[in-house]
Amino acid sequence: MGAVLQSPPTPPRSRLRAVYDRIPPPLRVALGLLLLFSVAFSAAVLPLFLTGGPLRAEIAGMESANAVRDQATTVDLGIDNVGDRLISPICVVATFSAPVDVRTVVFQGLDTIPVRDGRACGGALSGGEVISAKLTFVPRATGTIKLRLVAAQGSREIGPAVTRDVFVSAR
C-alpha cells in the first residue's frame, strides 16, 4: 500500500481578512484615505476642545498715564491669554483709588462696551491670543490715582492684577 501525501492544513482565515478581501481595491484606497484624514483631523482639532488647563489671562502693555480732571482719558492695554483654553466672555475689571467715571472699554477697536460696576465684557479670547483694549474714564479729582486692572471671565478674575499710577492735573 502506498503512502498518500497530503498537504499541510491551511490556517483558517480571519473574518476581518475575509471582509477586507471582498472590498474592491479602488474602494480600499478611498477608505484608507478617509481613515487617514479622520485621524489627522482628530489629532489637530480634538485638543482644541479637550484642553483642560487653567484659564489665565494677563493685562499687558499699560504704562502709567497722565490725565486732566473732568476730561476723558484713554488708556491703551493688551489682554494676553497665556493659557490654551478659550476665554468667553473676556472681561476687564477696573478699580480706582479716587473718584472716577469709568465709561467704556473698546475691544480690538471694534466692540465698544460700557463699563458696569467696574467691569466690561466683550467677545472671546482664544488660547495664546493677544488682543488690544482701550479703557476710557473721566477723573474727578487731581493728584495721583491708583488704577488696578485685572482680566476676568465673567465675574471670576483669571489673572494677576496690574496696578498703575494715573497723574491727574487741574488743566
C-alpha 5/C-alpha 15 separation (Å) is: 30
Question: Please, is 136 exposed, middle or buried when counting C-beta atoms within 10 Å of its C-beta (0-12, 13-18, 19+)?
Answer: middle
132 and 76 Cβ atoms separated by less than 8 Å: yes
Confidence check: pLDDT of 17 > 90: no
- Whether 10 is in a domain gets the answer no
- Whether 9 is in a domain gets the answer no
Confidence label for 18 from pLDDT (cuts 50, 70 and 90): confident
Structural domain count of the chain: 2
Q: What is the pLDDT of residues 60-76, one digit of tens each?
A: 877 778 999 999 999 99
Q: Which residues of 113-125 are buried (b: 16+ CB within 10 A; e: fewer)?
A: bebeeebbbbeeb
Return the percentage of the chain with pLDDT > 90, whole number.
Answer: 51
C-alpha 151/C-alpha 166 separation (Å) is: 19
- The average pLDDT across 93-105 equals 94
- Whether 36 is in a domain gets the answer yes
**Judgement on whether residues 32 and 94 belong to the same structural domain of the protein:** no
**Judgement on whether residues 86 and 139 belong to the same structural domain of the protein:** yes
Rg (CA), the chain: 31
102: which strand partners? Answer: 137
**Judgement on whether residues 41 and 118 belong to the same structural domain of the protein:** no
C-alpha 105/C-alpha 30 separation (Å) is: 52
CATH number at 76 reads 2.60.40.10
Tell me what pLDDT residue 10 has: 56
Of the three residues 50, 74, 95, the one that is the final residue of a domain is 50
**Judgement on whether residues 141 and 101 belong to the same structural domain of the protein:** yes
Q: What is the pLDDT of residues 37-62, one digit of tens each?
A: 988 888 877 666 555 667 899 998 77
Supply the range of the domain harboring residue 103. 57-169
- Whether 8 is in a domain gets the answer no
Torsion of CA 51, 52, 53, 54, to 10 degrees: 130
Tell me what pLDDT residue 2 has: 61
Would the pTM of this model clear 0.75, i.e. be above it? no
